[in-house]
Amino acid sequence: MATEAVREAGVWRQTKALLFKNYLVKCRTKKSSVQEVLFPLFFLFWLILLSMMHPNRKFDEVPSVDLGTLDRSVFLDFILGYTPVTNMTRKIMQKVSFEYFTDDVITEEFFSEKELEEASTLSSSKFVGIVFKDSTSYQLRFFPGAITMSSIHVESRASCSSFSKGCESVTYWQSGFAVLQACIDAAIIQLTTNHSVWEELFSTKAAVMGAAANMKIDYFPRAVILIYLVIAFSPFGYYLAIHIVAEKEKRLKEFLKI
């Protein structure tokens, strides 16, 4: 028991001596001590400022919105150019223009895809090109910006709370792409199977699904903050290494004197 008490007293005495020694070192090296404190505070200030400049974006809960059925009025005074011109494609476009759009659109025939592209460059934004690959497959070519770039929408619903700003899904539905596709598909099905499906396709409804409240985190500022944390505490390690090296050099000089 006495040995353990002496050992504890020795450890406590060494600890106090070491703390007192470090205190004297800090008092004698005031410049480095001040720098050791000010550098982390400086970086901490910029860290707080950076986090305030890039806060996490919070989005409230958004309800579902019904966009209604297909609207054929968006194609008023539009020009539908198609190629190639065959008996089947002519029947398809006649049915589309006279039965489904009721003379709201103008159809033009082009004998090659090159002629269609040249006509589209000279026409207004109300020109839509249709390129038939065969009697059942085709491509729709709208002007750039008229519809969204992709048919697969991965846009956050929370950032689409106001439809006046132009959400991708709403722009896709209101561009007329789905209307024209439904008309051409209905014409192809009726000419192929002699069965009309236009009423079913025309009654198709679209809705923008709602979203729960969420938070969007910007990962770039978070990465910068982590780097700043490392930089902020680097002065402690720097000055600690300086003191350790200086102590080693001092002991080495004393040893060489002996």
Tens digit of each residue's pLDDT (9 = 90 or more) over 74-131: 777 788 889 999 999 999 988 888 888 866 788 889 988 888 888 888 777 778 889 9
Q: Is 134 part of a structural domain of the chain?
A: yes
179 in any annotated domain: yes
SS3 state at 95: helix
Residue 182 located in a structural domain: yes
Residues 121 and 240 in one domain: no
Mean pLDDT of all residues belonging to the chain: 76
pTM above 0.85, yes or no: no
Same domain membership, residue 200 and residue 80: yes
Host domain of residue 199: 65-146+157-214
Task: Give the pLDDT confidence of 222-254 residue by residue, as tens digits.
Answer: 777 777 777 767 766 776 677 677 767 766 666
Question: Has residue 47 got a pLDDT over 70?
Answer: yes
| Nearest one of 217, 218, 206 to 179, comparing CA atoms | 206
> Are 205 and 67 contacting, i.e. CB atoms less than 8 angstroms apart?
yes
Domain-located, residue 33: no
Structural contact between residues 84 and 112, judged by C-beta atoms closer than 8 angstroms: yes
Taking residues 27-53, report their average pLDDT: 75
The arithmetic mean of pLDDT across residues 42-67, rounded, is 75
Q: 163 and 242: one domain?
A: no
Q: Are residues 120 and 193 in the same domain?
A: yes
* 97 and 161 fall within a common domain: yes
Q: Are residues 97 and 206 in the same domain?
A: yes
1 vs 127, residue with greater confidence: 127
Q: What percent of the chain has pLDDT over 70?
A: 76
Q: Which of 198, 214, 230 is the last residue of a domain?
A: 214
Regarding whether 190 and 77 lie in a shared domain, the answer is: yes
Structural domain includes residue 38: no
Assess whether 232 and 206 both reside in one domain. no
More confident residue, 14 or 193: 193
Reported as type and span, the H/E element at residue 107 is: strand 105-109
How many domains, in total, are found in the chain? Answer: 2
What is the C-alpha to C-alpha distance for residues 120 and 131, in angstroms, rounded to an integer? 13
Do residue 114 and residue 228 come from a single domain? no
Whether 164 is in a domain gets the answer: yes
Using CA atoms, how far apart are residues 185 and 201, in angstroms rounded to an integer? Answer: 9
Same-domain check for residues 129 and 237: no
User: pLDDT tens digit string along 153-168?
Assistant: 455 555 565 554 557 7
**240 part of a folded domain:** yes
